[in-house]
Amino acid sequence: MCGIVGYAGPGTGRRTEQDVDLGPGPSQRPLEVVIEGLRRLEYRGYDSAGVALVGPDTEDVAFAKKAGKLVNLRTELADRSLPAATAAVGHTRWATHGGPTDGNAHPHLADAGRLAVIHNGIIENYSELRRTLAAEGATFRSETDTEVAAHLLAREYRAAGDLTAAMVATAGHLRGTFTLLAVHADAPDTVVGARHDSPLVVGLGEGENFLGSDVAAFVAQTKEAMELGQDQVVTITPTSVSVVDFEGRPAEGKRFTVDWDAAAAEKGGFESFMDKEIHDQPQAVADTLRGRTDADGRIVLDDLRIDEAVLRSVDKIIVIACGTAAYAGHVAKYAIEHWCRIPVEVELAHEFRYRDPIVDAQTLVVAISQSGETMDTLMAVRHAREQGAKVLAVVNTNGSTIPRESDAVLYTHAGPEIAVASTKAFLAQITAAYVLGLYLAQLRGNKFPDEIATTLDELRDMARKVQTVIERGEYVRATARSMKDADKVLFLGRHVGYPVAMEGALKLKELAYIHAEGFAAGELKHGPIALIDDGQPVFVVVPSPRGRDQLHSKVVSNIQEIRARGARTLVIAEDGDDDVRPYADEIFWIPKAPTLLQPLLAVVPLQIFAMALATAKGLDVDQPRNLAKSVTVE
């Protein structure tokens, strides 16, 4: 959702790597930095964009904003002569209050055009504030909730004469969720920000400082960063960063170094970020495993700040997450229950919080999130902690809110995931869940050290096998191209194949806008089989024939049942599985692997299929319609 960038620094000088042509005015480092930051935040999803600039010679804020993609804003800027600036803010908007129009795009101005505000989140009490401010004489020009923050800040600034103090006072009036950034013509080298339940990170440069929704906004400029806590106001100038809380008392941010390179967030020669990220998956699995064992081969999780005695006493695990991350949670359930004999529930974060869940000090809540900012998951984390549970975050993004608010964190090391639809984060989340499961088994003595070592070795070998599946991708792509007119696709799986089926369906829905459903194969006869008619494409994830409990033969029977009713069967099966051949219209072979680890392989053809089919339909696979990468509102 909305992307936010702020910059305070010299008006001219070093250009960004993009060498952005921004029109006839003087060289504009602030504008270049902000536009480059917005470009890097495009992945969050947006429908309009805007910038605001102030400089020593500006009477009013200079600004531009346009509905649509960033290119529209850049075209608008190219026709304009802008004053030299020393501070700038930029925004990509994902519409909530008011449609995606030029007028509703941010920034919103107040104080006779001398103050500009951008915002991420939802201001819940905006109607009453709007009435009050209008009665006081404010003129509203948009349908947004954000504009009340601009007028409120202008009013508080008139009273306080200081932008930071005015922001503190403004934050006190707002309910809901917000990150706000503001510039004022009176303070041409300053950007002030506030955050409440919405992300904001500081980038620390030399003679310049940055603000961003996440580190991607400024990673091309600096890797030195600072996390802000909840309910803090930050003021940056070229040479200073100061933080206060919502009472105006001095506060501290936590410094960290971004551990990935700006190039990691580039396409690197691939046609799309999604394609690149699918190809990153072997690395994501390997990196998530790296450094997790000591010299004796025992699993060590350094970031896990929960006392071992507490982990030993855990009698229930609840995984909370949304979307793809929740499907990773389903895989975690099968693995952790099998290895550790602890009951594991998996719950969508937005349902968990509102159903009065039974959670206590013996419950370990595992919150899985790529972004670390998903509001539904964050709220569930808070709820769990209020009930006395320990919360362990499995998160990909450094400096994000969920790990900060959890008791412990297990970082996945997938690197930046830019495509809106999640791929490599899913594999990294599953890998981290396996590590956690094995760690708990080690700690609680559920498994012998040599059993754990064997599973770890098998897990380490998965990166190579994922690579093999990717290399076999052309057959999947060709099949997808031949199916570009499909209007309904079903996915079946059993055991860990069930979450894989659901993830395959989700990928197809979000990328190709095709109605797709994932079912537990055993559920078929209880209803969904009625959907099967002549030619209906059905993907089936087949477990390893070497697996347990006749899982394999049950799924082969399911394939026969649907084929007998006319389904076109697209089967994902292990190399050498001859039992499926007679019943499969297409087979996507994957290398042999232990049943519990198979999701790391089986999901890859489904990702490639969805991407290739969407591409064949001429759709943008990196930014599917209506979706946002980081869902920062409930």
Kindly tell me the number of DSSP H helices and DSSP E strands found in the chain. Answer: 19, 25
> Please, are residues 357 and 346 in contact by the beta-carbon 8 Å criterion?
no
Contact 114, 185 (CB under 8 A): yes
Interaction between residue 421 and ligand F6R (CB under 6 A): yes
User: By C-beta, is 32 or 510 nearer to ligand F6R?
Assistant: 510
Stretch that binds ligand F6R, among 196-204, 219-227, 284-292, 367-375 (CB under 6 A): 367-375
Does residue 325 interact with ligand F6R by CB under 6 A?
yes
- Cβ closer to ligand F6R: 511 or 524? 511
At its nearest, how many Å lie between ligand F6R and the CB of residue 516? 13
Q: Is 629 among the residues known to form the active site? A: yes
Q: Cα Rg for the chain, rounded, in angstroms?
A: 26
Read out DSSP for 102-137?
A: TTTSSPEEETTTTEEEEEEEEETTHHHHHHHHHHTT
Nearer to ligand F6R among residue 202 and residue 325 (C-beta): 325
Q: Identify the CA nearest to 210 among candidates 442, 453, 462, 33.
A: 33
- CB under 6 A: which stretch of 261-269, 318-326, 407-415, 493-501 binds ligand F6R? 318-326
* List 170, 422, 595, 632, residue binding ligand F6R (CB under 6 A): 422
When the beta carbons of 237 and 422 are compared against ligand F6R, the nearer one is 422
Does residue 622 belong to the site contacting ligand F6R (CB under 6 A)?
no
Binding of ligand F6R by 215 (CB under 6 A): no
Q: How far is the CB of 597 from ligand F6R (least distance, A)?
A: 21
Close Cβ partners of 63 (under 8 Å, ≥ 6 residues apart): 50, 51, 52, 53, 107, 109, 116
Nearer to ligand F6R, 349 or 572 (CB): 349
Shortest Å, Cβ 365 to ligand F6R: 14
Binding flags for ligand F6R, 372-411, as an x/- string (CB under 6 A): --x--x----------------------------------
Identity of the amino acid at 253: G
Minimum CB separation of residue 325 from ligand F6R in Å reads 4
Between 9 and 403, whose beta carbon lies closer to ligand F6R?
A: 403
**Among 120, 144, 324, 442, contact with ligand F6R (rule: CB under 6 A):** 324
Is residue 632 a contact point for ligand F6R (CB under 6 A)? no
Q: Is the peptide bond before 10 cis (omega within 30 degrees of 0)?
A: no
3-state secondary structure at position 370: coil
Nearest to 191 by CA among 38, 83, 61: 61
Q: Which is nearer to ligand F6R, 51 or 631 (CB)?
A: 631
Residue 499's identity, in one-letter code, is P
Active-site hit among 66, 333, 465, 629: 629
Residue 503, both tokens: 């993830």
Nearest to 64 by CA among 54, 34, 53, 181: 53
CA atoms within 13 Å, Cβ hemisphere of 276 = 19
Region from 322-330, 384-392, 408-416, 531-539 binding ligand F6R, contact rule CB under 6 A: 322-330
**Is residue 431 close enough to count as binding ligand F6R by CB under 6 A?**
no
Min. distance of Cβ 45 from ligand F6R in angstroms? 10
- Which window, 276-284, 368-376, 408-416, 599-607, contacts ligand F6R (CB under 6 A)? 368-376
- Output 567 or 606, the one with its CB closest to ligand F6R: 606
Cβ atoms of residues 217 and 150 within 8 Å:
no
Minimum CB distance to ligand F6R, residue 510 (Å) = 6
Using the 8-state DSSP alphabet, how is residue 293 labeled? B
Query: Whose Cβ is closer to ligand F6R: residue 142's or residue 630's?
Result: 630
Segment interacting with ligand F6R (CB under 6 A) among 36-44, 248-256, 363-371, 595-603: 363-371
d(CA 74, CA 307): 52
How far, in Å, CA of 528 to CA of 506, rounded? 17
Taking the complex as a whole, the smallest distance from the CB of residue 323 to ligand F6R amounts, in Å, to 2
- Closer CB to ligand F6R, residue 15 or residue 382? 382
Which residue in 2, 66, 447, 465 is the catalytic one? 2
Of 108, 84, 107, nearest in space to 30 by CA: 84
**Element holding 205 (H helix, E strand):** none
454's CB contacts (< 8 A; 6+ apart) are none
- Examine residue 347 and tell whether it contacts ligand F6R (CB under 6 A): no
Round to whole Å and give the CA distance between 588 and 570: 8
- How many Å apart are CA 599 and CA 528, to the nearest integer? 23
Q: How far apart, in whole angstroms, are the C-alpha atoms of residue 522 and residue 530?
A: 14
Q: Which CB atom, from 433 or from 532, has the smaller least distance to ligand F6R?
A: 433
Count the site residues for ligand F6R by CB under 6 A: 15
Quote the crossing angle between the two packed helices 599-616 and 497-512, to the nearest 10°.
20
User: CA–CA separation, 327 vs 331, rounded Å?
Assistant: 7
Q: Pick the binder of ligand F6R from 92, 146, 371, 632 (CB under 6 A).
A: 371
- The reply on whether position 544 binds ligand F6R by CB under 6 A is no
- Contacting residue, 50, 55, 323, 497, with ligand F6R by CB under 6 A: 323
Residue carrying structure tokens 């992307």: 3
Active site residue 2: yes
Stretch that binds ligand F6R, among 141-149, 369-377, 477-485, 611-619 (CB under 6 A): 369-377
Tell the burial category of 105 from Cβ atoms under 10 Å away from its Cβ (0-12, 13-18, 19+). buried
If one asks whether residue 209 binds ligand F6R (CB under 6 A), the answer comes out as no
Q: Can residue 272 be called a binding residue for ligand F6R (CB under 6 A)?
A: no
Expressed in angstroms, the distance from the first to the final Cα of the chain is 11
Q: Binding ligand F6R by CB under 6 A: which of 164, 209, 237, 370?
A: 370
Phi-psi region of 365 (alpha: psi -120 to 50; beta: other; left: phi over 0): beta
Q: Which residues bind ligand F6R (CB under 6 A)?
A: 322-325, 369-371, 374, 377, 421-422, 506, 510, 630-631
Which of the residues are catalytic? 2, 629
